[in-house]
Structures are given as C-alpha cells and as structure tokens.
C-alpha cells in the first residue's frame, strides 16, 4: 500500500514548496562520487588500512628482538624468529591461564544455556501462571542499575572471593539469552507438545529430546554470545581473582603487561597467541557470532 502512495507524497510536497525540491537534489560533487564505484573502494581501503595497521604492527613486533624493536619499531622484522612466542609462553603461565579460561567458559556457559532453556520453554508455552511476568522481569533486567557492588558483597560474604566457583557463579545468567530462546521456541508448533503428551512422553524427555534439537540455531546463538562475553571478561577477573593461579587469559595478559612493561616483542607474541584461537573461531563460526552479538540488539 505504501508503494502506491509514496510516489505521490513527495510530488505534492514539491508543488507547494519548490525550494524543497531543490534541496532533494544531491550536491554535484556527491552525485559524481556516487557514480564511481571507485570512491567506494577508496573509502573502504582507507578504513581497511586503519583496521589492518594495528594488527600488522602486532605481528611484525612479535618477530623482532628487543634491540631491533627499539631501533626500528615500525619497520618489518629482519627475520622470522619464534623465540618471543616460546618466551611468552614459558615466562607467563599462559598454558594455565588458557586452561582456566576454558574451564570458566565451558562450565558457566553450559550451566547458563541448560538452565535458560528450562526457564524459556514453559514461559514461551504459557505453561506457568504468571509466566508473562517472569518474562517481563527478564526484559526489565536490561534497564536495572549495575549489580557490581552488592554482587561483590554477596560473593565476599559467601566466602567465594578469589575462588573458581565464585567467579563462575557470576556468569550463570543471561537475560538476553532467555529472550532469544523464548522468541525462538514460540515459533515451534504447539501440536508437537500435544502429540508428545498423548504418546505419553514426559516433560523432561520432551524438552531435551524434541525441543532442544529443534532450537539448535537459537542455542548456538546464545552459547556463542555468552561464551564470547565470558572469555573476554577482564574487569570481573580483576575484581574477583587475586591469585595468579586462577587468572583467565585476559587477566593474565594484563598481568604480563605489568611485568614486561615496554618489552613489547614477547608482549606482542603473547597477544597474538591468545588472539589466534578467537580469530580462527570467528572465521569458522562467523554466522553464529554475528547473529549472537546482534540478536539481542535487533530485538530491542
């Protein structure tokens, strides 16, 4: 219907106010630019340099010796030396940090996703009285004040400060994940529930054997969203973990920076080591990662 109306609307406007028609015309230089795809490429390439530049600097620094770096920070490395990588790996306990990060991320994400499905399913189906208000409580969460300080007092008083359990406890809920799951489950036909119930399938079995496989894309999205946020978390790791043995990679990296200061070559190697898995994962799971990181946004 709008397709029919829109061509008329501007015409009427131009009859009454001719000066607006003039304003609709693009500036001439802009019109010229638009005709050339060339302009698009130039703009994109300029930005590409801004995006690649810092990464290139990182890679080239990781292959330099310290004197070489001080002599010429910006230039290319003289040869491909891998000592920095081994030094970074051995000096800081990155193997341990990685194990920690993997433990935190998998445990917390698994618990979060499983409990989220169990919250989202009955709400989406309307199987609970007041389910709508529960959902509302999850939506409102996005507009509540930060929980930082009382959360700290809670963990402190539970005696879980500076423990793995305490740190994991911080990452077990994800309101956006619930909202994504509820919306997805709503699209699955209810007849499925009916026939399963008639066949005598129990609730538990129905959710995990029938619903979970059907909502796999939503689960992937929530998993990726939650796992990335957790893997990259720095501030909570700084606040809650003071013991070097418990650090995740982000915190370990900042600790390494504190020790190594301006000794950039091993620093750069360390950053690269920790960055590579993320980049590789991103290249493979791009679809889920992009949808995960924007899904919550587009809904709002």
Partner 1 sequence: MIHRSYLFARGWRSATPVLLLLPGFLLYLVMAVGPSLATAVYSFTDATGIRGIAVNWIGFENYDEFLLRGAASRDNIAALRRTVYFCFFVTVIQFGIGLVFAVLLNQKIRGKKFFRTLFFMPVILGVAIQGLIWKLFLLPRGGPAAEFFQLFGWTSELLGGQPRQAFAWVIVVQIWANAGITMVIFLAGMQTIPNELYEAARIDGAGKWQLFRNVTWPLLTPAVNTNLLLNIIGSLQAWQLFLVLIGYRPGTQVLGYLVFAEGFGQTSGSVASAFRQGYAAAASIALFILVLVFALVTHAWLSHREKRYIG
CB 228 to partner 1: min, Å: 6
Is residue 189 part of the contact set for partner 1 (CB under 8 A)?
A: no
Is residue 267 part of the contact set for partner 1 (CB under 8 A)?
A: yes
> Distance between CA atoms of 157 and 162, rounded to whole angstroms?
12
Is residue 108 part of the contact set for partner 1 (CB under 8 A)?
A: no
Is residue 217 part of the contact set for partner 1 (CB under 8 A)?
A: no
Is residue 144 part of the contact set for partner 1 (CB under 8 A)?
A: yes
**Contact range with partner 1 by CB under 8 A, out of 13-21, 84-92, 211-219, 273-281:** 273-281
Q: In the numeric block, which tokens belong to residue 199?
A: 């066949």
Restricted to residues 279-298, the positions that interact with partner 1 (CB under 8 A) are 279, 282-283, 286, 289-290, 293-294, 297-298
Place of tokens 């796999």: 216
Is residue 207 part of the contact set for partner 1 (CB under 8 A)?
A: yes
Q: Which of 83, 194, 244, 245 binds partner 1 (CB under 8 A)?
A: 194
CB 80 to partner 1: min, Å: 19
Is residue 250 part of the contact set for partner 1 (CB under 8 A)?
A: yes
- For 15, the 3-state DSSP assignment is helix
> Distance between CA atoms of 104 and 168, rounded to whole angstroms?
6
Sequence-separated contacts (24+) of 129-137 with Cβ below 8 Å:
135/178, 135/179, 135/182
> Distance between CA atoms of 250 and 212, rounded to whole angstroms?
32
Is residue 99 part of the contact set for partner 1 (CB under 8 A)?
A: no
- Could you list the beta-strand ranges (E) of 163-229: none
Per-residue x/- track, 4-43, partner 1 (CB under 8 A): --xx--x-------------x-x---xx--xx-x--xx-x
Q: Which of 18, 145, 189, 213 binds partner 1 (CB under 8 A)?
A: 145
Nearest residue to 205 via CA among 121, 111, 116: 121
Is residue 76 part of the contact set for partner 1 (CB under 8 A)?
A: no
> Distance between CA atoms of 88 and 255, rounded to whole angstroms?
12
Q: From the CA atom positions of the chain, what is the Rg in Å?
A: 27
Place of tokens 């509302």: 136
Nearer to partner 1, 95 or 192 (CB): 192
End-to-end CA distance of the chain: 27
Is residue 146 part of the contact set for partner 1 (CB under 8 A)?
A: yes
Q: In the numeric block, which tokens belong to residue 149?
A: 């300080």
Nearer to partner 1, 30 or 99 (CB): 30
Nearer to partner 1, 103 or 239 (CB): 239
């Amino acid at each position: 219907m709008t397709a029919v109306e829109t061509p008329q609307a501007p015409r009427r406007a131009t009859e009454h106010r001719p000066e607006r028609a003039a304003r609709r015309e693009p500036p001439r230089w802009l019109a010229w630019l638009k005709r050339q795809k060339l302009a698009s490429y130039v703009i994109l390439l300029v930005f590409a340099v801004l995006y690649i530049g810092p990464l290139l600097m990182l890679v080239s620094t990781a292959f330099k010796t310290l004197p070489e770096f001080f002599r010429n920070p910006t230039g290319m490395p003289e040869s491909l030396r891998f000592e920095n990588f081994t030094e970074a790996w051995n000096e800081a306990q990155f193997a341990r940090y990685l194990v920690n990060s993997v433990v935190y991320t998998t445990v917390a994400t698994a618990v979060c996703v499983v409990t989220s499905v169990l919250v989202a399913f009955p709400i989406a189906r309307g199987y609970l009285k007041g389910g709508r208000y529960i959902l509302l409580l999850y939506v409102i969460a996005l507009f509540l004040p930060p929980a930082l300080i009382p959360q700290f007092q809670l963990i402190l008083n539970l005696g879980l400060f500076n423990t793995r359990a305490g740190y994991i406890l911080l990452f077990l809920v994800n309101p956006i994940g619930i909202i994504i799951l509820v919306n997805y489950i709503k699209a699955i036909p209810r007849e499925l529930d009916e026939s399963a119930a008639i066949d005598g399938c129990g609730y538990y079995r129905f959710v995990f054997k029938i619903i979970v496989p059907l909502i796999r894309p939503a689960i992937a999205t929530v998993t990726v969203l939650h796992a990335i946020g957790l893997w990259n978390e720095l501030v909570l790791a700084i606040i809650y973990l003071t013991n070097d043995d418990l650090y995740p990679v982000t915190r370990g990296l900042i600790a390494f920076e504190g020790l190594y200061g301006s000794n950039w070559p091993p620093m750069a190697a360390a950053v690269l080591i920790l960055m590579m898995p993320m980049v590789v994962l991103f290249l493979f799971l791009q679809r889920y990662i992009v949808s995960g990181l924007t899904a919550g946004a587009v809904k709002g």
